[in-house]
Amino acid sequence: MKHRTGHIFKRGDTYWLRYTVAGERVAQSLKTKSERTAKTNAEKIMAPIRAADGAEALRAVQSRLMAAVDTAGKLNDEAHPPLSLLKAWTAYQDSENRPQSGVVTLAGYEGHWAAFCEWLKEHQPGAQYMRDVTPEMAAAFIRQLSKKGYSGNRINKFVRFLETFFRVLAKTGRVTVNPFEDITRRKQVPESKRPFTIEELKRIIETAEGELQTLFMLGTFTGLRLGDAATLQWGEVDLARAIIRRVPRKTAHLGKAVIIGIPAILGEHLAGLKRKGPFVTPETAAQYEVDAPGLSRRIQDHLINCGIQTIKPGTGFEIVKGKDGKPEERYTGKRAVVVAGFHSLRHTFVSLHAQAGTPQAVMMKLAGHGNPMMTEHYTHISEATARSAAAALPAIVGKAAPVKVLPPANLAERVKQLAGKLTPKNAGTIRKELLALVS
């Protein structure tokens, strides 16, 4: 017997065992004159040696397999390079699987991704690809945001976006584990914008000029969000019937339009505008699409000029007296918490309706808020209901005039047009339109 079984031989009357271990030849006495006993003793000596040799053999095989896998991986990376962190944002923008966010929201997301990449560059320079990011790195980044004093609301926005980002690019980035999916959300404290008073609204609207004034009036009397007010098209405005029919950008994926009545004061203002293309405020619409933050700054500057405190005291920049006695801006060290902005007009819209006694279900539909508990009866409000709700709002600026409705002659013409389009397939749709005309 040789190698793993060893070799038994006799030296005089005693049996010996010769074997090789770790490259060294060893001769060991078995201390017996019986061949049977010698074989038993030799087996006891060789058993652990054979086991060790087997483990070493397995380790060698495993090493060769790992080397082959590593080589295959490198060859695959050369043929199909993994997604780098530098190219990830472009890949996310081009992905058909990502949420279809608005311009402002997408700009905010880009800022979140840039902040994370900057942190990786400083603290994890070895991470070059999406697949290099680990849950430990993600947790460390979120801890850093907490140390910076970010609010729970803001941290949760980072976590939600980055989790979505890695989920959308999981296949492209060869991400096997989403590093942000197990991070616990922070406790949130609502940061709601306050509604404006009637006096503030009068000052805001009357001192604004041009498209900015139109924008503020749309926000006040329709409750539209900034993106919807800035990009409102004439095709969505029906002055004859005193309604606006618009599919909100935020819920565009649902494809449901909201019907909003046009108060007399807003109708007169819109009727007096010169139409320059499809948008009610063409210059504002163009700015919103390419520079939404710049438009927000214009709005905030106007509110500040109206003497309105737009951020929470002690946050953002504050005006202090400099060494020369002149006022200067100084950063407080805390992120600005906006308490008044264009979105405040939306809160004002809802508040004014509440004060006017508009039913809650109607208010929710005017504002474009969804509620799964609402009955089918309230899933649609008629044009007449929207006009009546609009008429209940205070004039705020100028003098109120009666709500304009569709003249009888035009009404009859419209009924004829709808009747001419009537087919068995569209009967339900035509019926709803006819009912809306007489509601």
pLDDT recorded at residue 329: 67
pTM: 0.53
pLDDT recorded at residue 193: 73
**Per-residue pLDDT tens for 207-229?**
999 999 999 999 988 889 999 99
Tell me 248's DSSP state.
-
pLDDT recorded at residue 19: 80
Query: Rounded to the nearest 5°, which phi and psi values hold at 346?
Result: -70, -40
**Per-residue pLDDT tens for 345-376?**
888 777 776 666 665 555 555 555 444 333 33
What is the Cα–Cα distance from 115 to 279, expressed in whole angstroms?
35
What is the Cα–Cα distance from 156 to 187, expressed in whole angstroms?
9
pLDDT average, residue stretch 252-259 = 80
Of the candidates 367, 368, 346, the residue with the CA atom closest to the CA atom of residue 252: 368
pLDDT average, residue stretch 73-101 = 81
pLDDT average, residue stretch 2-28 = 78
Tell me 403's DSSP state.
P
**Per-residue pLDDT tens for 307-318?**
998 888 777 666
pLDDT recorded at residue 348: 79
